[in-house]
Amino acid sequence: ATFGLLTSMAVYMTKEALLESCIANEGYENPSLNEQLFLHFKGFQRIENLEEYTELKAIWLESNGFQQIENLEHLTKLRCLYLQQNFITNIKGLAGLVSLRTLDISQNRIMHLENLACLPLLETLNVSKNALETAESIAELTSCPRLSSVDFSHNNLTGDGIIETISKIPNLLSMRVTGNPAVSTPQFRKKVLAAIPRLAYMDRPIFAGERVAAEAWKEGGPAAEKEAREAHRASLREKELNERQSYRKWVADKRQEAAERRAAKKESKVEHPIETAVGQSEGSAGAGPKEIIDSFWATNPNTVTSTGGHESGGTQNVCGVRRKEVSDFRAPAVDVDGNEIGKKDEFQEVAVKAPHPPLRSVEIPGLSMPPLPPSRVEEVTTLKTPQKIPTPVSSPSLQESGSLEVIDDVTDFDLLD
């Protein structure tokens, strides 16, 4: 009665219906450009009119009224085929799907798996909620070389032959068997784990301890299983202890390396030569470097460093020099004809208590230092305050001699005979 009702309400998979589906799911009007096709929940009775969709890689055909798989042989690039929730009773029409990797035929009426060996790349198969019962009904899976995941859940699989058949699937790594009578067999899970060492998932993850216990149970029974579990726990505790000790040693080593770097950095730090010398001076007892330098400045207020000066009182300066540019308020130097013969940038040398003076030597009572490298030699001179330069006066004698000389660097002009 249900089939007759569906027949009377049949919806056909026409080209127009396919085009409408493509547009509705943001596909292309040109059939050959579509790589996906969504035809689920349409009520179609047959698979047809897909000849132009040659580039399909995935097609959703679930929840329709299909009774058989047909008209798909030309889809050589198809990778995923979803046919769940239909009325399929046998597996046919898959011969040309050489690229198929995922096949979902769950919730159908399949009693026997067949014609799957023609799918060389099949990796994932869902046959849950069908009518599979015996080991012979699933024997076809042993011919699938790359099959790694199978869902057998909620079928009617029974008997010990099920385990033997499943163990012959070459690359099986994951499976679901819940909802089958075979699961109620005593020690079913242990038998499967012992028979398929590579299996990583069976309704739940399979851990190393469970696998070791299952293999020991197969060899020596419950006593061997218990001993294997205890040995495995002990090995885990030892491994955890070793890892913890290794981590603590690593932390200690890193802290030691950091301490050594800090110590090396502290030792390599260069002390200020004057401060070091003052600290070593016999005459500095009871006074710090700052007090001694301040005292020196109080007694030598006008000493500065310069390039080409002289020593003052036999004692060299202990400070740096800051050259401060003076505003250009003087007229440029000119000859008797009024022509500018040159202009010198004017600076005022100001004594500064610099923390790191470029000195050659220091003479402080009770203190002596070795000479510095030549690149840092700077001598002491007396601070000279620039004076206002008078405007030159025209003179016949100047025109005759034609000579002009700047005296004392930037201070006075004079005419030479």
Residues 101-128 pLDDT 10s: 999 999 999 999 999 999 999 999 999 9
160 and 224 housed in the same domain? no
Q: Can you give the CATH number for the domain in which 113 is found?
A: 3.80.10.10
Picking from 239, 260, 281, the residue at the C-terminal end of a domain is 260
Residue 397 clears pLDDT 50, i.e. is over it: no
Q: 300, 315 in Cβ contact below 8 A?
A: yes
- In angstroms, the CA 242 to CA 238 distance is 6
Residue 394 lies in a domain: no
Nearest by Cα to 144 from 164, 168, 163: 168
247 and 206 housed in the same domain? no
Residue 92 lies in a domain: yes
DSSP character at residue 94: -
196 and 228 housed in the same domain? no
Residue 94 lies in a domain: yes
pLDDT-derived band at 292 (thresholds 50, 70, 90) equals low
- In angstroms, the CA 311 to CA 282 distance is 24
132 and 240 housed in the same domain? no
Amino acid symbol at 99 = S
pLDDT-derived band at 374 (thresholds 50, 70, 90) equals low
Please give the model's pTM, rounded to 2 decimal places. Answer: 0.60
Structure tokens at 357: 């003076």
Nearest by Cα to 406 from 337, 350, 349, 333: 333
- pLDDT at position 266: 86
Q: 361, 377 in Cβ contact below 8 A?
A: no
Domain range for 252: 220-260
* β-strands 404-407, 412-415 pairing: antiparallel
23 and 163 housed in the same domain? yes
Residue 74 lies in a domain: yes
- In angstroms, the CA 164 to CA 157 distance is 13
Question: pLDDT per residue over 307-347, tens digit each?
Answer: 444 444 444 444 444 444 444 444 555 555 655 555 444 44
Better-predicted residue by pLDDT, 387 or 147 = 147
Picking from 219, 247, 282, the residue at the C-terminal end of a domain is 219
90 and 198 housed in the same domain? yes
Number of domains in the chain: 2
Residue 83 lies in a domain: yes
145 and 230 housed in the same domain? no
175 and 52 housed in the same domain? yes
- pLDDT at position 172: 96
Percent of the chain whose predicted confidence (pLDDT) is above 90 = 58
Residue 213 clears pLDDT 50, i.e. is over it: yes
Picking from 187, 219, 251, the residue at the C-terminal end of a domain is 219
Q: Quick count: other Cβ atoms within 10 Å of Cβ 412?
A: 12
Question: pLDDT per residue over 174-205, tens digit each?
Answer: 999 999 999 998 999 999 999 999 999 999 99
- In angstroms, the CA 312 to CA 227 distance is 96
Structure tokens at 148: 């790694």
Residue 91 lies in a domain: yes
Element (H, E) at 162: helix 161-167
- In angstroms, the CA 195 to CA 199 distance is 9
Q: Where on the phi/psi map is residue 159: left (φ > 0), alpha (ψ -120 to 50), or beta? A: left
Give the long-range contacts of residues 182-189, CB within 8 A, separation 24 or more: 182/157, 182/158, 185/160, 187/217, 188/163, 189/214
- pLDDT at position 267: 84
Structure tokens at 178: 């819940």
∠ CA 358-362-366, nearest 5°, is: 150
Residue 417 lies in a domain: no
Question: pLDDT per residue over 22-56, tens digit each?
Answer: 999 999 999 999 999 999 999 999 999 999 999 99
Residue 369 lies in a domain: no
DSSP character at residue 250: H
Amino acid symbol at 338 = G
Query: DSSP strand E in 171-314: where?
Result: 174-176, 201-202, 303-306
208 and 250 housed in the same domain? no
Amino acid symbol at 374 = P
Nearest by Cα to 171 from 126, 123, 211, 115: 123
